[in-house]
Amino acid sequence: MNTNRNNRNEKVTTSIKIDPELWKNVKIYCIKNNIEISEFIEKILKKYISR
Q: Residue 7: what pLDDT?
A: 67
Q: Residue 5: what pLDDT?
A: 56
Q: Residue 1: what pLDDT?
A: 44
Q: Residue 48: what pLDDT?
A: 96
| 1-51 per-position pLDDT tens digit | 444 555 678 999 999 999 999 999 999 999 999 999 999 999 999 999 998
Helix (H) or strand (E) segment spanning residue 38 = helix 37-49
Do residues 30 and 36 lie in contact, with contact meaning Cβ atoms separated by under 8 Å?
Answer: yes
pTM: 0.73
